[in-house]
């Protein structure tokens, strides 16, 4: 499985090759029909948008009979939709507690850790308010936005602030990481606490201020197949491919950390 150095394009093919012959979730020995057949719907935390869109495009190229539809959103919102009966085959959450709600309801197979993510402070380019540490966020008069409670990145931010005994009143509690980036970029907010991957995705629009490991909160993303999947073979093959090769390489490129 040492394919980390392979270029993403090649890794796509290698990863898929590994996925389709590495394990045989559909029960057949090697030479069995390609599990990547038909279409599946993947519900994923919005921070995975870039990684999945980039890496998984290769799947559809390599398997002409296969299509994946992605629905990105806040993990909690996606859980709410699934509990209400939204049809999906694979679910990826940005924390373990939202996935746990699906486990408790018996809606998913045993989840697996996909990757990890940590927090970073974002400020406008040039850091006009000279924010250097987590504690600086409590500076009076500073407009800070956080994600709402229940949204994974919001829960992590609350945990990090509480652990550092930093009390601050955010200006707004957002449901969406991209919106926090927009608010800092537009200057309506001075700073926000987001995932480090949001900073990578934002490019030069905002500047990230790293938070030391001792103060940071590292969250685990989980992936699982829905028990109600109508294309179980493809769903399982998709999960296997996401845990290996190309997708993992892309996740690291996007700023995620390895699952363990």
Partner 1 sequence: MTRDVTRRPLIGLMVPAAVAVLFIALPLIGLLVHVDWGNLPSQLVSGNVLTALRLSLECSIIAVAVSLVIGVPLAYLLARASIPGRRVIRGLVTLPLVLPPVVGGIALQTALGRTTPIGTVLDHFGIVLPFSTAGAAIAEAFVGFPFLVITVEAGLRQRDDHFEEVAATLGARPWRRFWRVTLPLAAPSIAAGAALCWARALGEFGATITFAGSFPGTTETLPVAAYTSFEGSGQIGMAITLSLLLLAISVLVLVVLRDRWLGALR
Check residue 187 for interaction with partner 1 (CB under 8 A). yes
Instruction: Return the beta strands (E) in 125-259 as ranges.
Output: 144-147, 172-174, 191-195, 207-210, 218-225
Check residue 142 for interaction with partner 1 (CB under 8 A). no
Check residue 192 for interaction with partner 1 (CB under 8 A). no
Burial of 195 (0-12, 13-18, 19+ CB in 10 A): buried
Residue 38 or 150 having the CB closest to partner 1: 150
Check residue 77 for interaction with partner 1 (CB under 8 A). yes
Give how far Cα 128 sits from Cα of 75, 123, 170, 177, 187, Å. Answer: 32, 8, 18, 21, 10
Of 23, 96, 101, 139, the residue at the interface with partner 1 (CB under 8 A) is: 101
Check residue 93 for interaction with partner 1 (CB under 8 A). no
Min separation Cβ 69 and partner 1, Å: 21
Min separation Cβ 76 and partner 1, Å: 5
Q: Characterise 255 by phi-psi region: left (phi > 0), alpha (psi -120 to 50), beta (else).
A: left
Check residue 173 for interaction with partner 1 (CB under 8 A). yes
**Footprint of partner 1 (CB under 8 A):** 74, 76-77, 79-80, 98, 101, 143, 145, 148-151, 154, 170-175, 183, 186-189
């Amino acid at each position: 499985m040492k394919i980390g150095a392979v270029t993403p394009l090649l890794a796509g093919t290698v990863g898929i090759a590994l996925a389709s012959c590495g394990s045989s979730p559909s029960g057949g020995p090697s030479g069995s029909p390609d599990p990547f057949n038909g279409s599946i719907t993947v519900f994923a935390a919005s921070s995975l948008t870039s990684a999945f869109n980039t890496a998984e495009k290769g799947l559809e190229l390599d398997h002409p009979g296969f299509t994946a539809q992605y629905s990105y959103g806040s993990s909690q919102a996606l859980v709410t939709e699934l509990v209400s009966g939204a049809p999906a085959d694979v679910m990826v959450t940005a924390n373990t507690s939202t996935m746990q709600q699906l486990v408790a309801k018996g809606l998913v197979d045993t989840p697996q850790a996909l990757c990890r993510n940590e927090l970073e402070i974002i400020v406008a380019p040039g850091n006009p308010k000279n924010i250097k540490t987590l504690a600086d966020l409590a500076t009076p008069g500073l407009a800070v936005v956080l994600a709402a409670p229940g949204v994974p990145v919001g829960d992590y931010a609350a945990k990090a602030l509480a652990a550092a005994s930093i009390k601050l009143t955010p200006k707004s509690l957002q449901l969406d990481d991209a919106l926090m980036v927009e608010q800092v970029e537009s200057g309506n907010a001075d700073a926000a606490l987001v995932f480090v991957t949001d900073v990578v995705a934002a490019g030069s629009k905002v500047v990230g201020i790293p938070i030391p490991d001792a103060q940071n909160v590292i969250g685990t993303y989980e992936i699982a197949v829905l028990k109600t999947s109508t294309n179980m073979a493809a769903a399982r093959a998709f999960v296997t491919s996401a845990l290996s090769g190309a997708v993992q390489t892309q996740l690291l490129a996007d700023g995620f950390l390895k699952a363990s």
